[in-house]
Structures are given as C-alpha cells and as structure tokens.
Amino acid sequence: MSYKPRSLFSIITEINSEIFLPHIQRPFVWTSEQMSRLFDSLMRGYPIQTLLFWKTKEEIKVRKFMEVVDSEIDLSTLYNAQKSEKDIIKVFVLDGQQRLQTLYCIYSGYLKDEKSGVSLDAYVDITSEAPDNMTNQIFNLKFLPSKESSQLPLFKIKSLVGKYDKVASENISDEINDSLDKILNDSDQQKKNREKIVRKNIAMMVSILREDNHFWIEEIDGVVNNYPYKTILEIFIRVNSGGTKLDGSDLMFAAMKELSPEIEANLEEIATNLSSTNLSFEIDTILKGILLVNSKGASVDQAKFRGDEGKALINTIDQQWLEKYEPAFQALKDFITHDLKLDSEKVIRSYNSFVPIFEYLFFNPTPTPINKSRLKSFYYRAQLFNWFSSQTDGVLDYLHNNFFNDCKGKDFPMASIATYFETNRKNKVRFDRDTLADHSHRFFLLHLLYVETQGQSAFNVALKNNAPHVDHIFPKSKLQKPPFTLNSWEINHIGNYRFVGATDNIRKRAEEPASYFTNLKKSNVNVSRHLLIPAYSSDPSKLLMTPEVYNDFRTKRLEEMYKILEPIINFE
C-alpha cells in the first residue's frame, strides 16, 4: 500500500477516465451546506482525511462521478460497462466519495437546482476575510445559474480550470483587483486591504487545485499485489466510518442493484412503509426474509447475487414482486399495525422475530384469526424470551427448513416452534407468573395489556413529548417511607405499574391513589382500564395508603394481569 500526495487537479482530470466509484458506494448525500463547509475548511488550511484508492483489474461494476450533482439521479445511468470488464485497469475510491464528488462539482461540474432543474456553478466572494455570523464560515459557497453571468466580488471557482488554467495566481489576482477597482468605491486603505485579501484567497484556491500538499492518497495496488475481493470489502466497510457505515446488507444490496434498477426503490419503499409508525426496519431484515422464501439461507452475503444463479434469483424477485412480495410485506405491515399495534421501539428487542412472520405471510397472506393469534403469541414469546439473541441466521435457517419451507395453506406451527426453542435452544417458552414479575419485561407486558384492555397502544400519542411513562399507581416516594417496609422489587412491581402520558405523570407527582383516581372517576375517566380490579375501580377511595391495602391491591391486580396476558402469549 502506497501513501503519497497528489494535486486536486491531477485527481480531477482522471475522474471518470481512470478514477471511478465502485458500485457498492452509496449515493452522494451531502447538501450544499456540507459542500460549502468542506471548501471553507480547505481555504482555511484545515486538514482533511486521507483518501483511499484501490487500483485493480478485477471485474467490478464501475460507477462514474456525477458531472451534474443531482439528488434524484438514477445511479444505473452512471455505470460504465466497458471499464467494468476484467483486465481493464481502473482506480476505485473506497473512502472519500463525498469529498471528491464535492470538489469535482465545485472545480469542474455543476449542482442541479432541485426546484428548477437548472445547472448551477459554485461561486465564492473573493473578498471574504471574516467568519459569517450565520454559518461561522469565512468562505460560503453560492450556487448560481451557469448560464447567467455574476458580477465580482463573486468569483466562479470553475474558471481556475478554464479561463485561468495555467495562469499564475498573481496574474489572476491582479486582473480581479483591476476589475474590482472599477466596481468598488474604496478608499486607498480599503483598496490596499482588499487587494491583499484577494491575492491571499486566489493564492489559496490555486494552491488547493495545483499543489500536492493538500491531498494525501493511500492506494491499494491490486494490479501489482493480489488482494482478494473479500479483503477489499472488509477494508471498505471499516474505512467508511467517516460517513454512513456500511455492512454486509449494504454490499448485498449493491450487488442486487447491479442486476435490477427496480430493486432499490422497491426495498426502500418497503423499509419506509414498515417503519412508518416510529419503528426502524432496516434493509438487512427485509433481505433475510426475501432470501429465506427463496430457500437461499438467512445470511446476508452479496455472493448470493453473483453469476447466473444471482441473475435468476433477481429475475424471479422482480417478476413476482407485485404478485407475491408486495402483498406479503403489506400483510406484515397490517399485522404490526392492527394486531400487534406496535408504534415504539421500546417493545421490540429484535427485528429478526419479524422474519419468520413474513415467511408465513408470504405463503399465507390472509391468515385465519386463529393463526393471527398464533403469530401474535410467537412475536411476544420471541421478544420476552430473547429467542433471537444469538446465532440468529442459524435459528432462522432452522425455522425455514423445518417449518416454513412448505407452509402454504397450513397452520402457523406455534407448538412445534416452541418445542424447538425449548429442546434445541434451551430457551424459556411459556409465559408464567415469574415472567410477569420480571422487571425487564414491563414495557412488553404493559403494552400488550393496554392493547387488550383499551384496543390501542399507549404509545400512540399525537405529541412525542407526551409519550407514556411507567407510573407507580401507589407513589414510589411514599412507599419508601414508614409505615411501609418494602424491598425495591416490592415497590417497582408490575402489579403497581401503569402507563400514563408524560404530561399527566408530571401533573400527578406524588398524589395518593385514593384522591387521584377518585378525581379521575368524577371526571368520567374509565379508571378500571388502569386499576383492573372491580372493587377498587368502583370505589377508588378504598385505595388507602396503607401496607395492607397496597399488598392486597398489588396481589389482586397482578392476578388480573396474568388472566389477561397468559392466554394470549401462550396461545398455540
């Protein structure tokens, strides 16, 4: 691996002829503000990270840099088939895409205006010398229509590789200052100061472009040395910590995009749809489901979309997308929204538990009510008992091979799945009173309790700052004082927990339950949804702050909760 300086001009002249992007790179995502910050940093002499290049003759899909930066561009239009071929030498940018694309745009290309579609050139006020109060930058880029002429002191940066190519910085400065003399009405001192600033700024811009002390390149020479593609991928993943981190699913996704222009939009639409209720579905989870229904195993590996088999798999997915995949993912979305009523990540330990549910829905998109109950049981047991906490791909493969490979028209095999986790994985599989009393389960169980008793999630609130808090019905602060002599677990007990909006929880503070719930009842609030016990719900004044009443209330409420939750979680 070599480490050497290079001028920006030498890099720019090789972009899209020798220097390219590998297909595994994500799209350009920087905003014009981020582009401006990079330019400001360079102009102020701030160091930037080393760029990482890979020289190779491998058959790797080549993507060109954008000559016109366009956030809506179809990346497939940038692929270069001829340069992608084996034995054709090319240099890939493994780390530094955002920076190089920005500089290529500023010094040689354009930025597309998102509203008008007009191509814009990068300009800077050549008389800049002090930080702007709004941006804290000295050199703020302005992007203006390329077909319109702009007047100094705005200077078109691209002219340094056009009009002023090979012109000495002193001569450029003199020409600009002469022009400014005709425009500005400066005093002699102001003129002297301005001329100095212009000379300094032009000298720095020219230096950034032409000198080789601003950019350092680490180049992996795969032509001279044999670097396996897997090694390059591992390096690529690790060095992309300065931007958006990539993992195996990103590389696999990139391999899929090579073969199908539709797959990117389809998968991102599914991820967005599934995440629309404050969840965070990643492409990785979706890919596992797609691989498994095609019996390709759960591991996310881009090799599965290489060669003739990979092409055949992509063709199958594309052909069946509207008929099979889209309905199955919509069925999963409906199940999450209408049956589980999930709208908070606090009730999700592992998104991988959705993969077997998707598999079943792929082959059975309209499950019977009984099978929906089994799916619900599976979800809650998987979350409560951490069924997907380790060796996830192996677990998913086993479930597919033994239960879902041929499940069309069959019942969801909840009992058999429970036996597998109990016997083979040594997991707990039955909900009992110990599970109910486990403090770590409080969010899952309270969520399910409110869904069953109120028909909706407690997390379904209009304002984020009013998301539910876990509230002590008998105030914690009072239970810690005489006449009570309780251990922590006796106070922080699910029998004493309820969900309440953050605003109401703050308002309630340490009010005793008798007065608090009596006032709620007088306001026509159905307190039985929280208290669960008929005797206390009908007369909240009985909720006296005494050890005897607290113990009675907590014990009876715990039993009521168990009666509600047990049939749902243990359903088979």
Percent of the chain having pLDDT more than 90?
65
Question: Considering only 50-64, 125-139, 505-519, which range has the smallest mean pLDDT?
Answer: 505-519
Provide CB contacts within 8 A for 282, sequence distance 6+: 249, 271, 351
Per-residue pLDDT tens over the stretch 224-239: 777 666 666 666 666 6
Confidence band for 203, pLDDT divided at 50, 70 and 90: very high
Tokens representing residue 297 in the block: 């195993």
User: What is the total residue count of the chain?
Assistant: 572
Q: What is the average per-residue pLDDT within 19-31?
A: 87
Q: Which amino acid is at 485?
A: T
d(CA 354, CA 376): 11
Task: Classify residue 347 by its DSSP letter.
Answer: G
Q: Do 104 and 15 meet the contact criterion of CB atoms below 8 Å apart?
A: yes
Task: Give pLDDT, residue 186.
Answer: 85
Q: What is the average per-residue pLDDT within 490-499?
A: 94
Task: Give pLDDT, residue 465.
Answer: 47
Task: Give pLDDT, residue 243.
Answer: 46
Residue with tokens 């990540």: 345
- Whether cis (ω within 30° of 0) applies to the bond prior to 153 is yes
Q: Among 473, 443, 477, 445, which residue's Cα sits nearest to residue 549?
A: 473
d(CA 151, CA 313): 57
Confidence band for 548, pLDDT divided at 50, 70 and 90: very high
Q: What is the average per-residue pLDDT within 120-127?
A: 95
Q: What is the average per-residue pLDDT within 399-419?
A: 97
Provide CB contacts within 8 A for 316, sequence distance 6+: 294
Task: Give pLDDT, residue 504.
Answer: 56
Q: Do 97 and 5 meet the contact criterion of CB atoms below 8 Å apart?
A: no
Selected residue with higher pLDDT from 167 and 59 = 167
Per-residue pLDDT tens over the stretch 152-163: 899 999 999 999
pLDDT > 50? residue 461: no
Most confident stretch, 78-87, 307-316, 473-482: 473-482
Confidence band for 258, pLDDT divided at 50, 70 and 90: low
Percent of the chain having pLDDT more than 70?
90
Selected residue with higher pLDDT from 333 and 304 = 333
Average pLDDT, the chain: 89
Indicate the helix (H) or strand (E) that contains 332: helix 326-334
Confidence band for 276, pLDDT divided at 50, 70 and 90: confident
pLDDT > 50? residue 463: no
Task: Give pLDDT, residue 154.
Answer: 94
Q: Which long-range contacts (CB under 8 A, 24 or more apart) does 172-177 make?
A: 172/202, 172/206, 173/198, 173/199, 173/202, 173/203, 176/126, 176/152, 176/202
Task: Give pLDDT, residue 92.
Answer: 92
Q: What is the average per-residue pLDDT within 460-466?
A: 45
Per-residue pLDDT tens over the stretch 308-322: 888 899 899 999 999
State how beta strands 142-145 and 154-156 pair: unpaired
Task: Give pLDDT, residue 242.
Answer: 47
Q: Per the confidence metrics, is the pTM higher than 0.75?
A: no
pLDDT > 60? residue 503: no
Q: Which amino acid is at 474?
A: F
- Whether cis (ω within 30° of 0) applies to the bond prior to 483 is yes
pLDDT > 80? residue 400: yes
Task: Give pLDDT, residue 229.
Answer: 64
Tokens representing residue 29 in the block: 């995502």
Confidence band for 469, pLDDT divided at 50, 70 and 90: confident
Q: Do 414 and 376 meet the contact criterion of CB atoms below 8 Å apart?
A: no
Per-residue pLDDT tens over the stretch 351-384: 999 999 999 999 999 999 999 999 999 999 999 9
Per-residue pLDDT tens over the stretch 430-445: 999 999 999 889 989 9
d(CA 244, CA 281): 17
Question: Considering only 7-21, 149-163, 301-315, 424-438, which range has the smallest mean pLDDT?
Answer: 301-315
Question: Considering only 21-35, 392-406, 462-476, which range has the smallest mean pLDDT?
Answer: 462-476
Query: By CB neighbour count within 10 A (0-12 exposed, 13-18 middle, 19+ buried), where does 27 fall?
Result: middle
CB atoms within 10 A of CB 152: 18
**Angstrom distances, CA of residue 223 to CA of 90, 351, 559:** 10, 42, 71
